[in-house]
Amino acid sequence: MILSIVMATTVRAQKDQSNHKYISLGIDGFGAIPLGDFFYESNQIFAWGVNGTLMYHPKKINKFYIGPGFSYFNYGMDKYQREVEIDGILYDLATLRNYSILFPYLNIRLMPWDHLRLVPVFEGFVGPRAFTTVSTSYFEEDPVFLSVIFSSEEDKPMRKTEHVDWTWGYGFSVGFTYFICPLLDLEMSLRYTKGGEVTYLTKADILLEPVTGSFSYHPRRSESDMLVLSLGIRFNFF
């Protein structure tokens, strides 16, 4: 029974020999761990995030897909409050600090058996990666992660980029796509990213000076290889 489900084709597949259309949008969530020197230098950080890809399947090149992708990794958050003086009045300034990796990339996908319901997927990708530490401050008691994105104009947050450095990343992934219906697929993949040397901050690298009340920064440097396990869905448009 299991083999019949896995190997089964659909009526649609019999008509056009493919379960997949020419334009598709994939959205997935993932967990990621550092590898090699990055694992030890970063104190074994764990990152979570979201990834999106827009894929185009050229009509004359069967089983081949190409398109842009973007991954957002978050490997740490801090919340703290400080008193600041503005026009002689003391205010409580609440701050949310995010440690992030931004990764826009070009993705190439191969699906050699795309007439099946469960399709093996092989991908290669390359692009620049930004390691950033950004603090967002509010005059409120308890800032939350979503308030960085959704905030009113009168309560506009103050953002400060405390650190940013760029490097390149490239690699490959293996996984599968499961055909649910003509408009929707379920996807899972394991991705290996080879990352170049980069400087970055962790929570332990930002120290508050007790006398001045200012922060001092002590960036780390290492290669940035990562292993990513993702699960998501893919919308097939036309």
Residue in 56, 51, 69, 64 with CA at minimum distance from that of residue 107: 69
User: Are the beta carbons of 220 and 188 closer than 8 angstroms?
Assistant: no
DSSP 147-216: GGTS--STTPPEEEEEEEEEEEEEEEEEEEEEEEETTEEEEEEEEEEEE--EEE--GGGEEE-TTT--EE
| pLDDT value at residue 148 | 54
| pLDDT value at residue 13 | 40
Distances (CA, A) of 190 to 65, 169, 193: 18, 16, 10
- How far, in whole angstroms, is CA 166 from its chain's centroid? 16
**Domain residues of the chain, as ranges?**
2-73+101-132+166-236
Residue type, 140: E
Q: Does domain 2-73+101-132+166-236 fall into CATH 3.40.50.300?
A: no
> For 85-116, what is each residue's pLDDT tens digit?
666 777 777 889 999 999 999 999 998 887 78
Q: The whole model's pTM is what?
A: 0.83
Residues whose CB is less than 8 angstroms from the CB of residue 200 and which lie 6 or more positions away in sequence, other chains included: 42, 99, 131, 133, 163, 165, 219, 220, 221, 224
Residues of the chain with pLDDT under 70: 1-20, 60-61, 85-87, 140-156
User: Are the beta carbons of 53 and 25 closer than 8 angstroms?
Assistant: yes
> For 36-52, what is each residue's pLDDT tens digit?
999 999 999 999 999 99
- How far, in whole angstroms, is CA 79 from its chain's centroid? 22
| pLDDT value at residue 212 | 72
**Secondary structure (3-state) at 86:** strand
| pLDDT value at residue 15 | 43
| pLDDT value at residue 211 | 73
User: In the structure encoding, which two tokens stand for residue 1, read together?
Assistant: 């029974």
Residue type, 61: I
Distances (CA, A) of 158 to 40, 86, 147, 148, 209: 33, 14, 12, 10, 21
User: Are the beta carbons of 18 and 111 closer than 8 angstroms?
Assistant: no
